[in-house]
Chain A
Amino acid sequence: MATVLIVDDATIMRIQMKKMLEKLGHEVIGEAKNGVESVTQYEKLNPDFVTMDITMPNVGGVEDGIEATRRITQFDYKAKVIMITSHGEQDKVIRAIQNGASNYILKPVKIEKIEETINKLDL
């Protein structure tokens, strides 16, 4: 069982992800709806891993999930961040990996894919 921080600007996607993660036996210890919140929450909660939506509104100078990931992994170089993207855009995924993301999942998110991706995290 791992502790998780969920980051997504859409409430419905956070709830969907939370239900799937809890079904897999993980504990969701925090949620954030933008990049700024995610960095603050990460520093406060120190979760085992983060699920991070790539596309989120620019709040407080953190323009998207990629920038939030960069800040989180700058704070903790061991941080594990799974990017969630609805666009399957290779360039965004590559930039996210270059900025410290561990892996990515394409929307629509399936519980089997989450499980498979978490198993690769080396928690």
Chain B
Amino acid sequence: MDRNIREILEQLSLRTISFFNKDLSLKIDDEFQLEEVESIDFLDTTTFISLSNAISGTIAMSVSKHLSEKMAKGFLYGETSQEEIDSLCVESVTETLNITIGNIKQNLTITKNGGIIDISTPDTITKSKTITKEQYNIIVVSRLKIDNEDIILCYFI
């Protein structure tokens, strides 16, 4: 596995775990494994952010609708209505990936060595989607677990 991709997904997984635990107050398992896969089925809500310049590829975060609702609740400080949660659960996934990628960027070896990584604006979909190796050369996945649900972090190029 390409060491840059490994480093990005490892750091992103660790930052995601920390973000869920500390910022969203959602207890998440602290174990994860990276694996190169032939295909991946994304869940209900998926955010994509592309990286360019010193490294290229796309990172995805994918969660169930149920988990996105919990994430929205975690974002909102204090009392929250169900209506508010319903309207903001998609944005909660978008912002989570946007923040966590931003947070790890400075710590990557490429960046420390002077490389510049440009981050695209996030794009979020709320429908099922599958990507395969027929479409992309490399698909690497990290699966995080929270209450028997998956959080899929994926790097593909």
Contact = CB atoms under 8 A, between A and B. Distances in A.
B52 interface: no
Contacts of B94: 10
Given A16-B76, A86-B98, A10 B91 contact: yes
B32 to A, nearest CB: 20
A108 B19 contact: yes
Interface in A31-54: none
B98 A15 contact: no
A108 B76 contact: no
B78 A23 contact: yes
B145 interface: no
Nearest to B24: A108
A57 interface: yes
B95 A10 contact: yes
B149 interface: no
A88 B103 contact: yes
Main secondary structure of the interface of A (DSSP, over half): mixed
A53 to B, nearest CB: 11
Given A16-B75, A16-B77, A107 B102 contact: yes
B84 interface: yes
A19 B95 CA distance: 17
B88 A12 contact: yes
Chain A interface extent, by class: 20 to 34
Interface in A77-123: 85-89, 106-108, 111
A107 B88 contact: no
Nearest to B119: A87
B92 to A, nearest CB: 6
B92 A12 contact: yes
Nearest to A91: B116
Contact of B77 (A20, A89, A106): A20
Given A11-B88, A57-B121, A86 B103 contact: yes
Interface string B57-83: 000000000000000100111100000
15 contacts: A10-B91, A12-B88, A13-B75, A15-B84, A15-B88, A16-B75, A16-B77, A19-B76, A23-B77, A57-B121, A86-B102, A87-B102, A89-B105, A106-B103, A107-B103
Interface of B: 19, 23, 72, 75-78, 84, 87-88, 91-92, 94-95, 98-99, 102-103, 105-106, 119, 121
